[in-house]
């Protein structure tokens, strides 16, 4: 059984391509990666080839309409040649490429979009509607019925959450000491960690208030607001009293290893991926608000859930964990167990491979 992974931007979706390819190969599937650009790095090419994946590039040049039609023809030919059970789109942005949707319709292949959580529903519906219109034109031009060949009946669009690679979230291996040094945090300081882009005003204001209201009698404290996906090539940090603003381009692991507590509030929530990573790092988590992504946390079992809207509630919960080390440790261990049982990358790959096999036999 074969799965085709399609991407328009290999650089932006490199981590996703790597994890999907390795995971599906590990489940016994044949994997073909198709890129619409020639910017797959030689290192990634060599790594994927060594793992057993095959690489194809759509390479037409010329005026945009001509190049698009040739790319569509090439991708459709690839789908017909390899006869995959699924065409999987790996995209860094929120819109599923129209080329992929249209090629899947023409070739009669189910389409799966692999991404980390929602926010793309409206643009996805628009892309699907555009593909429907274009597909109808192609069918009419060839004198056939849109449903007669079963293409549309076999079309499926699913959104798959990514699992957490547990091997990356071990405190002793993640390099938290480097992040603490960069932020100028002294040994013994109680660190509360939150993630948000550097230009997120509501998140910044809430963290400022949290740093001001959190008071520990016998211990220093610091609130870190980290931007872990910046465009800068090197880490940066600046401090505002008990608030540290950290720009860390190498992912969340080192920042979480530097923290004692992780805080997630609806005012800046962008899905549950960072929350799950904090839980995988065995960090006690505090969530505020009614964001659906927070439902993975059960109050008092694998984290703390507080009322939304006020820094005072977050500060009180953080204070409780600072003075009760046993509770913090117990919540952290239960959080890790939750991810291991329900949200690990291995489980995600097993579910994905099962889905591909189900679609192949549907």
C-beta separation of 219 from 249 below 8 A: no
Locate tokens 């929350």: which residue? Answer: 275
The set of residues, in sequence order, having a beta carbon less than 8 Å from that of 289 and lying 6+ positions away, is: 265, 266, 267, 269, 308, 309
Q: Within 13 Å of residue 33, how many CA atoms lie on the same side as its CB?
A: 32
β-strands 236-240, 243-247 pairing: antiparallel
C-beta separation of 96 from 124 below 8 A: yes
Q: Looking at the domain covering 2-163+345-361, what would its CATH class be?
A: alpha beta
Query: CA–CA separation, 124 vs 75, rounded Å?
Result: 20
Q: Report the pLDDT value the prediction gives residue 292, as an integer from 0 to 100.
A: 79
Q: Looking at the domain covering 167-342, what would its CATH class be?
A: alpha beta
CA distance between the termini of the chain? 14
Of how many residues is the chain composed? 362
Beta strands in 220-311 (DSSP E): 221-227, 236-240, 243-247, 261-265, 285-288, 304-306
Query: CA–CA separation, 277 vs 263, rounded Å?
Result: 12
β-strands 2-7, 285-288 pairing: unpaired
Maximum separation of any 2 CA atoms in the chain, in Å: 80
Query: CA–CA separation, 178 vs 300, rounded Å?
Result: 31
β-strands 54-57, 2-7 pairing: unpaired
Q: Report the pLDDT value the prediction gives residue 347, as an integer from 0 to 100.
A: 83
This prediction's pTM? 0.70
Query: CA–CA separation, 222 vs 244, rounded Å?
Result: 7
Domain boundaries of the chain, sorted by first residue: 2-163+345-361, 167-342
Dig out the tokens for 89 from the structure. 């789109």
Q: Report the pLDDT value the prediction gives residue 79, as an integer from 0 to 100.
A: 92
Query: CA–CA separation, 313 vs 308, rounded Å?
Result: 8
Q: Report the pLDDT value the prediction gives residue 138, as an integer from 0 to 100.
A: 52
Question: Quick one: how far is CA 193 from the chain centroid?
Answer: 19
Residue stretches of the chain with pLDDT short of 50 = 94, 116-127, 144-159, 161
Q: Report the pLDDT value the prediction gives residue 39, as an integer from 0 to 100.
A: 63
C-beta separation of 41 from 119 below 8 A: no
The pLDDT tens digits of the residues spanning 267-277 come to 666 667 889 99
């Amino acid at each position: 059984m074969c799965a085709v992974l399609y991407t328009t931007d290999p650089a932006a979706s490199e981590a996703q391509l790597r994890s999907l390819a390795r995971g599906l190969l590990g489940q016994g599937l044949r994997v073909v990666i198709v890129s619409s650009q020639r910017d797959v790095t030689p290192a990634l090419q060599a790594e994927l080839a060594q793992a057993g994946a095959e690489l194809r590039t759509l390479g037409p040049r010329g005026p945009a309409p001509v190049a698009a039609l040739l790319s569509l023809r090439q991708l459709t030919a690839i789908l017909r040649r390899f006869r995959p059970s699924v065409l999987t789109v790996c995209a860094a942005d929120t819109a599923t490429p129209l080329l992929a949707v249209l090629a899947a319709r023409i070739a009669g292949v189910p389409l799966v979009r692999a991404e980390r959580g929602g926010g793309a529903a409206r643009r996805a519906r628009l892309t699907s509607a555009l593909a429907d219109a274009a597909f109808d034109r192609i069918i009419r031009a060839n004198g056939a019925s849109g449903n007669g060949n079963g293409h549309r009946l076999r079309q499926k669009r699913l959104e798959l959450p990514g699992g957490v690679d547990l091997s990356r979230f071990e405190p002793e291996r993640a390099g938290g000491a480097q992040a603490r040094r960069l932020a100028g945090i002294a040994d013994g300081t109680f660190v509360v960690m939150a993630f948000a882009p550097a230009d997120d005003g509501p998140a910044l204001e809430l963290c400022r208030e949290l740093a001001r209201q959190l008071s520990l009698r016998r211990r220093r404290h610091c609130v870190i607001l980290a931007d872990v996906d910046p465009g800068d090539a090197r880490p940066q940090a600046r401090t505002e009293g008990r608030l540290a603003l950290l720009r860390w381009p190498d992912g969340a692991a080192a920042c979480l290893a530097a923290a004692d507590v992780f805080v997630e509030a609806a005012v800046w929530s962008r899905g549950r991926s960072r929350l799950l990573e904090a839980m995988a790092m065995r960090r006690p988590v505090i969530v505020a608000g009614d964001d659906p992504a927070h439902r993975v946390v059960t109050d008092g079992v694998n984290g703390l859930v507080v009322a939304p809207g006020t820094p005072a509630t977050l500060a009180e919960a953080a204070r409780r964990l600072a003075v009760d080390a046993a509770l913090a440790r117990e919540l952290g261990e239960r959080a890790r167990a939750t991810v291991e049982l329900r949200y690990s990358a291995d489980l995600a790959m097993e579910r994905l491979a099962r889905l591909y096999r189900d679609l192949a036999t549907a």
